[in-house]
Chain A
Amino acid sequence: MRHAPKRGVDATLRNAVEPILSAVRAHRFGHGEGGSAPSDGEAEADVLAAVEREAAAVHKRLARDGGVFAAEFLGATGSGKTALVEALLDRRPDGERAAVIAGDVAGDDDATRYRSHGVPVVDVTTGTDCHLDPARVGRAIDELDLGGLDRLFVENVGNMVCPADFPLGASLRVVVVSVTEGDDVVRKHPLVFQACDLVVINKTDIAGAVGADVARMREDARAIAPETPVVATSAETGAGIDRLRRLLDRGPESHGDGYDHDHDHGSGANRADERRR
């Protein structure tokens, strides 16, 4: 065994604990600081760190090995993720080879919509799970010819809570909210905004009709996720879509606590950018 506590800390802890707990022994798990992998044969003791490591492995396959820039779209059901990705597919530059992984709890409605744009689509239904995970995305990209792709869109299951804790390995995480969810939707879901690299406020063409204050949504996003770009769009009218496309081209600007920042420094995404130029 090569547990971290064996390197000195364990003895201190044992001295502190064992006189009190004479009938038991305590084993304390080491901290995997700096994203280091766990020791041989030891299961990862931090569940979320393990997910981040799995996502980093997917990221490496996509960005470094495959030269594919992947953007994940997450947000509530009905926020307009599919319509936005369709709008981006319609505006993709000549020669750009794109594919989509469509995640849903059930059904192939989104996959069918994407296929009508003439791109390869992998439909992933989770059955019961409320979010995609790196393992599912890894299996989905097995079905794609990464060498023949420049860009991959990954649409997560409609949900504003659980996906925040489960990065998938995309170069960029994009959270989509729509004005129809109420202009307090951003402050109700702070952690998902902090986990993402880009915020899209969609359906702005009907903000007046539903009484939503887009400026307030922007301010909330800025307060909750400093330095994260915010773009207002309407997939219906096309407003803001070109700006969204440019932001996707630029890649991640800042990561507060994403795996790119802590474990990968976005190098995979940068390399994908270079390949496209």
Chain B
Amino acid sequence: MHELTAANRLLEAALEAASERNAGRIDRLTVELGTATHLTADQLRFCLDAITEGTAAAEATVEFDRVEPAGACECGWSGPTEPIDGVVPDAPSLRCPDCGRRLSLRAGRECRLSAIEIPERTETEQ
């Protein structure tokens, strides 16, 4: 259900942008997906396949760009996070490698429609 909620919102953003450009068809959706979320690309794709039926995005290719986590610290450090040593390799360490304080995530929490491709403008639109 979690992915379906996200997929619905992605589709809504894509259809709205296409409609504002008078595009009757969306050829491609590109989604930036952070790895520090519980959303997975496979399940999102599955949901998008289901809900795009009958919409302008019915034939669209869906592409995912993985976004690895990156953090920033009050001390001024910023950069990609490391895995948590010996505990969980697949979650970002939120401890600043410089000063040990807690980092704020600056990337890795995205589930973001980054681009759509729509057919070339017709003459009348130009």
Contact = CB atoms under 8 A, between A and B. Distances in A.
Interface string A113-141: 00000000000000011110100000000
Contacts of A65: none
Interface stretch (A80-88, A172-180, A223-231): A223-231
Contact of B94 (A24, A48, A131, A194): A194
A24 B12 CA distance: 20
A27 B88 contact: no
A29 B39 contact: no
A226 B118 contact: no
B101 A226 contact: yes
Interface residues of A, number: 46
Contacts of B94: 194, 224-226, 256-257
Interface in A152-191: 161-162, 164-165, 187, 190-191
Interface string A23-48: 11111110100000000011111111
Interface in B67-112: 84-85, 87-88, 90-95, 100-105, 109-112
**Main secondary structure on B side of the interface with A:** mixed
Contact of B115 (A26, A194, A255): A26
Interface in A25-81: 25-29, 31, 41-50
Nearest to A219: B87
Given A42-B17, A187-B87, A191-B91, A25 B105 contact: no
A221 to B, nearest CB: 10
A211 B115 CA distance: 51
Contacts of A29: 13, 17, 112-115
B66 interface: no
B91 A162 contact: no
Interface of A: 1, 21-29, 31, 41-50, 128-131, 133, 161-162, 164-165, 187, 190-191, 194, 220, 223-227, 254-257, 261-262
